[in-house]
Amino acid sequence: IRDFTPRRGRRRPSVETNVLLRAVAIVLIAGSHIHLFTLLGGAHVLLGVAGYNFARFHLSSAGRNERLRHTLVSVGRIAVPSMVWLGCVIALTGEYRITSAFLLNGILGPPGWTIEWRYWFVEAIVYILLAVVVLLCIPLVDRTERTYPFLFPMGLVAVGLLTRYGVIDIDDTRNRILTASVVFWFFALGWAAAKATTMWHRICVTAAIVATVPGFFFGDTSREIIVIGGLCLLVWLRSVRCPTVLSRVAGVLASASLYIYVTHFQVYLPLRDDHPWPALALSLLVGVLYWQAVTFVLQRDRRAALWSAARRVLPWERPPIPTPNTAR
């Protein structure tokens, strides 16, 4: 009878949409900088993904202090490796101002476009996360977010649109699309996408995306389409089925996406004109290796901290055996 029972086919593995978007976006960013193609918008999609992941992994039911600690740890994991890399680049080449090593170009940097703005994305993520941490430290705000988990980020979208449309004029240059306070609404849209639990929620977030992205990129229609498409995928698809190899590659690139972004400027420039495809491959590889190095250091420090704590708690050393003289 078993022979006549239809066998279930193997279920094709899937990859979470936010992971796939991070992988695709970093390839688009590096490839566009190398001039292999011109598909801009990946960094702004990553801002939405950052908001999505923040809402999923940091806005748990834990207490306010626990949330704060987890978020600050994440900020450190973004800021410290970036600052270390930039500090080394500045020390060896003098290519950037020292403000870049401290992620302060957006605040203390010169007006107008300079090469320091290459790292605007890292600064924007750090600034936004720190601002959100400060906001959620307020007890009333914390309670409001817990009570209205979807309406709260949609309210932040509305606040972010004040700078997007220039009601609050932060920057009127072309750098405005790279300024943390102006692009904050992308982060808030991703946050709202993560908290959209009903059909109407998803429709509301989609409507906000479609209504507000056009016109932001100075008439660059292809960029608008990429950003709208990426953010809408985040709203409507939780995962995408794909071959096992592709899901593994996407996972590695997604995990290393920050490190690829930070390192690729120093990798591709010598190769871009004559060897663009090797430049892309090497940019991805160096970023992955830097991610692995940082992960190794973090795990080593964690093991050392656990071992130190264990030695303080557990009685590893035997107590001395009393002698007749000491027993008196």
> Quick one: pLDDT at residue 5?
44
Query: What parts of the chain have a pLDDT lower than 70?
Result: 1-11, 301-328
> Quick one: pLDDT at residue 276?
93
Is 1 inside a domain boundary? no
Q: How many domains does the chain have?
A: 1
Is 4 inside a domain boundary? no
pLDDT, tens digit, 9 for 90 and up, residues 276-292: 999 999 999 999 999 99
Is 7 inside a domain boundary? no
Is 2 inside a domain boundary? no
Cβ neighbors of 272 (< 8 A, separation 6 or more) are 34, 35, 279
> Quick one: pLDDT at residue 309?
45
DSSP string of 146-193?
A: HH-TTHHHHHHHHHHHHHHTTSS-S--SGGGGG-HHHHHHHHHHHHHH
Rounded to an integer, what distance in angstroms lies between the CA atom of residue 256 and that of residue 16?
Answer: 16
Task: Look at residue 14 and give its three-state secondary structure.
Answer: strand
Q: Which residues pair with 15 in a beta bridge?
A: 240
> Quick one: pLDDT at residue 301?
63
Cβ neighbors of 26 (< 8 A, separation 6 or more) are 42, 46, 253, 254, 256, 257, 260, 261, 284, 287
Q: What is the pTM of this model?
A: 0.88
Rounded to an integer, what distance in angstroms lies between the CA atom of residue 166 and that of residue 180?
Answer: 14
Is 318 inside a domain boundary? no
CB atoms closer than 10 angstroms to residue 202: 16
Length of the chain in residues, anyone?
Answer: 328
Is 152 inside a domain boundary? yes
User: What are the backbone dihedrals phi and psi of residue 67, each rounded to the nearest 5 degrees, phi first?
Assistant: -60, -45
Is 140 inside a domain boundary? yes
Is 321 inside a domain boundary? no
**Please, what's the b/e burial string for 267-305 (b: 16 or more CB within 10 A of its CB; e: otherwise)?**
bbeebbeeebeebbebbbebbbebbeebeeeeeeeeeee
- Domain residues for 32? 12-313
